[in-house]
């Protein structure tokens, strides 16, 4: 089993209280980076790092900018937010197993927000796409309640 674990970065929770992040549309630039299996990503991850990040044709270090067309919303006692478009790499080749992506804030010292995992994959001269859950109070990618 990989050492990468799906989790909100603990540091992000503190930074919420410090008003560090702005996930509103037109706010901070958020990015998604891909990581190999056993890169030890999880709640203790504090920021983007090139250690463990994938490399290969079609992949640029630091990953892709995440489209943010919908500002965080509130429903009852739950605040929530989801990227407004899929994250996609084309003409990509990553030959070793990777199983995680890190959502991080490129406008704020590359501070980590969350680690999301999936079954290990390789990609060969193809397209890699991450689709988000629906943006709602019980389904959004990121929830605060």
Q: Which residue, 12 or 104, is less far from another protein as judged by CB?
A: 12
**Nearest-approach distance from CB 74 to another protein, in angstroms:** 13
Residues written for the chain? 145
Give kind and range of the element (H or E) at residue 10.
Answer: helix 10-17
Smallest gap from Cβ 55 to another protein, in A, equals 17
Q: Is the CB of 38 or the CB of 117 nearer to another protein?
A: 117
Long-range Cβ contact pairs of 19-23 (< 8 A, separation 24 or more): 20/105, 20/108, 20/111, 21/105, 21/108, 21/111, 21/113, 22/107, 23/68, 23/71, 23/72, 23/81, 23/142
CB of 29 to another protein, least distance (A): 20
- Contact (Cβ atoms closer than 8 angstroms) between residue 84 and residue 53: no
Q: Which is nearer to another protein, 27 or 126 (CB)?
A: 126
Nearer to another protein, 16 or 106 (CB): 16
DSSP state of 4: -
In the complex, which residues of this chain contact another protein (CB under 8 A)? 6-8, 12-13, 16, 77, 80, 91, 93, 114, 116-119, 121-133, 138-145
Which is closer to another protein, CB of 29 or CB of 121? 121
Minimum gap (Å) between residue 65 Cβ and another protein: 18
- The token pair at 91 is 């003409």
- Find the shortest distance in angstroms from Cβ 109 to another protein: 19
H/E segment holding residue 95: strand 87-105
């Amino acid at each position: 089993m990989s050492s990468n674990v799906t989790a909100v970065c603990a540091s992000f929770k503190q930074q919420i209280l410090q008003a560090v992040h702005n996930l509103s549309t037109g706010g901070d630039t958020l990015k998604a980076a891909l990581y190999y299996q056993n890169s030890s990503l999880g709640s203790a991850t504090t920021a983007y790092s090139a250690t463990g990040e994938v490399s290969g044709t079609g992949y640029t270090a630091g990953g892709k900018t995440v489209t943010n067309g919908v500002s965080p919303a509130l429903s009852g006692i739950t605040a929530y937010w989801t990227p407004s478009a899929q994250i996609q790499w084309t003409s990509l080749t990553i030959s070793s197993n990777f199983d995680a992506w890190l959502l991080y804030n490129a406008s704020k010292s590359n501070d980590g927000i969350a680690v999301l995992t999936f079954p290990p994959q390789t990609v060969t001269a193809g397209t890699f796409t991450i689709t988000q859950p629906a943006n709602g109070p019980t389904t959004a990618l990121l929830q605060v309640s």
